[in-house]
Amino acid sequence: MQVATSSLIQDLPVSQSYINGAWVDTQGTACVDVINPSDESVLTSVRMGSQQDVDNAVAAARAAFESWSETTAEQRLALLDRLLAQFDMMAESFARLISAEMGAPLTYARNAQVPLAKAHIQTARDNLQRYPFTQLRGTTAIVKEPIGVAALITPWNWPLYQITAKVAPALAAGCTVVLKPSELSPLSALAFAQAIHEAGFPAGVFNLVNGDGAVVGTALSEHSDVDMISITGSTRAGILVAQAAAKTVKRVAQELGGKSPNLLLPDADFNTAVPAGIAAGMRNCGQSCSAPTRMLVPRERLEEVEALAVAAVNGFILDVADNENATHGPLANKAQFDRVQTMIQKGLDEGARCIVGGTGKPDHLPTGYFARPTVFSDVTTNMAIAQEEIFGPVICLIPYDSLDEAVLIANDTVYGLGAHVQSQDLTLARKVARKIRSGQVHINYPAWDPQAPFGGYKQSGTGREYGVEGLEEYLETKAIVGYAQPE
C-alpha cells in the first residue's frame, strides 16, 4: 500500500538538521514555507540553519574525516551498496516528495528524477571499485587522497539527482560532507539523509543543514575547516560562492548556467530531430541547465521546422503534478514562473515570432505556476531570449545560412555547458561537435551516460561531475618521491 504524500511530509524532521549521525534541533529561528507549485498551497515549513548549525556540522565532518579517509575502498563500497538498497526501498517516497516540492509530474519523477539520481550512486560505487588510488611513475608514487571536508550546495530543479551527483563521489573518495540543499525543495533531501542514516554511514561522515544562500551558503563558503565547496546553481550564485571561498583558498567546483544549442545540420532527419529536440529542451519544464533551448536550423527549412515544433508542443499534456498522465507540470516556484513570463514578454517585445504558447497560464490551469510551452521563431542572436538563460519551457528557433555561421551562432554565448548536433553523416557531426565550445556535446540524441563527465566552459562553471572525473574532483594529488627505490 502506498503511503500518502502528506503522510510522508509529516514524517520528515523539518525543524532539525542531521549532524554527527543524529537529528538535532536546528538552532536557526527563521522558517521557510515549502510551496506546492501545482496549487500554491503550503506543504510544510522548514527551519533554516544558522552560523552555529554550520559550525556544528563542519566540526562533526572534520572530526570524522581522519577515520573515514583511512577506510578501505571495500569498506566504502559496502556502505554504498547499502545506500543503493535503501534507495530502492524509498524510491516511491522520493518520487512523491520531488513531485510535491518542485512540480515534476509523478510519472516523470518515478521514471527520471529518481532512477537517474540512483545512477549517480551506482556510478560512484563502480568507479570506486576500480579506481587506482596509487600509481607508480618511475620511482615516484602518485597518490590520490580525499581532499577533506566538502561542502555541497544543490539546486531545486533536480533536487535528489544533484545531491547524489555530489554526495556519492565525495563519500566514495573518502571525504566527509556537509550538504545544503535548496530551501525551495528540501524535502527529498531530508529523506535522503534518512536513507544515509539507515544505510549505517559513520557519524559525522554525512551532515545536512537546511538554509538559504545568504546565511548557510556563505557560512560554508567562508568556513576555514571546509576544504572544498561544490555548487550547482545560477552563475550569479556561483560567483558569490567563489568570492566567499577565496578568503580561505579552498577548491571550488561550479556547475552553473547554460544556453545550449541544438544544431540541426541540413541532412538531419527533421521528422525525428525536431520533436526530439523540443522534448529535450522542455524536459523538466525546461528547468535544466543543459537544456537545448536554442534550435539552429537551415533557413530554407525553417517553415518545416516550425510546423514540426508546434505539433510536438501540442502533444504535451500539461497538468498538476500528481496527474500520472501529465507530461509536464508547473514551474517549480513563483520566482521562476515570474522570470519565465518576463522573458517570454521580452521575446515578443524584441520582435521574435511566437508560433506556439506565449505569456500567461493555460486556460485550464488558473492556479499553480503553470507556464505555456512556448516556441519563438526568427530569433536573432542579439535578442535576450537567445542569450539569457530562461529556465523554462521556451525554445528559440534560430535560422542559419551556412555551416560556419551555425557554429558561430552555437558559440555566441557566455555559456558552454551542453550542446547537440543532429546529422546522418557521423563524420561531419563529429567534426562540428569538436568546434562547439561546451563541456558536453550530444550527437543524435544518445542515451544519457552517467560516466560522461559533465561541466562547463566559460561562465558555465569549473570542474566536472559524473564519471571518473566526478570522483577525482574530491581527490588531492600527492607525489611521494623515492617511494620505489631503484634497483
* 330 and 35 Cβ atoms separated by less than 8 Å: no
Domain positions in the chain: 5-256+461-479, 261-449
Task: Determine the number of helices (DSSP H) and then strands (DSSP E) in the chain.
Answer: 17, 20
d(CA 101, CA 184): 8
For the stretch 97-151, pLDDT in tens is 999 999 999 999 999 999 999 999 999 999 999 999 999 999 999 999 999 999 9
- Which of the residues 255, 389, 465, 473 is marked catalytic? 255
Q: Could you count the other beta carbons within 10 Å of the beta carbon of residue 55?
A: 15
Q: What angle do CA 331, 336, 338 make, to 5 degrees?
A: 110
Kindly list the distances between the CA atom of residue 356 and the CA atoms of 260, 287, 302, 369, in Å, as whole numbers in the listed order. 21, 19, 15, 19
d(CA 104, CA 114): 11
Residue type at position 279: A
Respond yes or no: is residue 476 known to be catalytic. Answer: no
d(CA 361, CA 370): 6
Q: What angle do CA 267, 387, 385 make, to 5 degrees?
A: 85
Beta strand segments in 37-106, E:
41-47
Res. 194: pLDDT tops 70: yes
Chain centroid to CA 355: 30
Respond yes or no: is residue 487 known to be catalytic. Answer: no
Cα-Cα end-to-end distance for the chain: 68
Q: How confident is the model at residue 4 (pLDDT cuts 50, 70, 90)?
A: confident
Mean pLDDT of 88-104: 98
Question: What pLDDT sits at residue 1?
Answer: 33
Mean pLDDT of 282-289: 98
Question: How high is the mean pLDDT of the chain?
Answer: 97
* 268 and 301 Cβ atoms separated by less than 8 Å: no
For the stretch 435-481, pLDDT in tens is 999 999 999 999 999 999 999 999 999 999 999 999 999 999 999 99
The DSSP code sequence of 191-246 is HHHHHHHHHTPPTTTEEE----IIIIIHHHHH-TT--EEEEES-HHHHHHHHHHHG
Q: Is 458 helix (H, G, I), strand (E, B) or coil?
A: helix
Q: Is 107 helix (H, G, I), strand (E, B) or coil?
A: helix
Q: How confident is the model at residue 196 (pLDDT cuts 50, 70, 90)?
A: very high
Q: Is 444 helix (H, G, I), strand (E, B) or coil?
A: coil
Counting residues of the chain whose pLDDT is more than 70, the rounded percentage is 99
Assign residue 329 a region (left: φ > 0; alpha: ψ between -120 and 50; beta: otherwise). beta
- Which of the residues 101, 289, 472, 473 is marked catalytic? 289
Q: How confident is the model at residue 3 (pLDDT cuts 50, 70, 90)?
A: low
Res. 384: pLDDT tops 90: yes
Residue type at position 203: A
Instruction: Pick one of 3.40.50.720, 3.50.50.60, 3.30.1360.40, 3.40.605.10 as the CATH number of 5-256+461-479.
Output: 3.40.605.10
d(CA 186, CA 179): 11
Question: What pLDDT sits at residue 446?
Answer: 98
* 321 and 99 Cβ atoms separated by less than 8 Å: yes
Q: Which fold has domain 261-449?
A: Aldehyde Dehydrogenase; Chain A, domain 2 (3.40.309)
Of residues 307, 299, 289, 409, the one with CA closest to residue 356: 307
Residue type at position 252: V
* 290 and 260 Cβ atoms separated by less than 8 Å: yes
Cell numbers for 315, please give them.
502533444
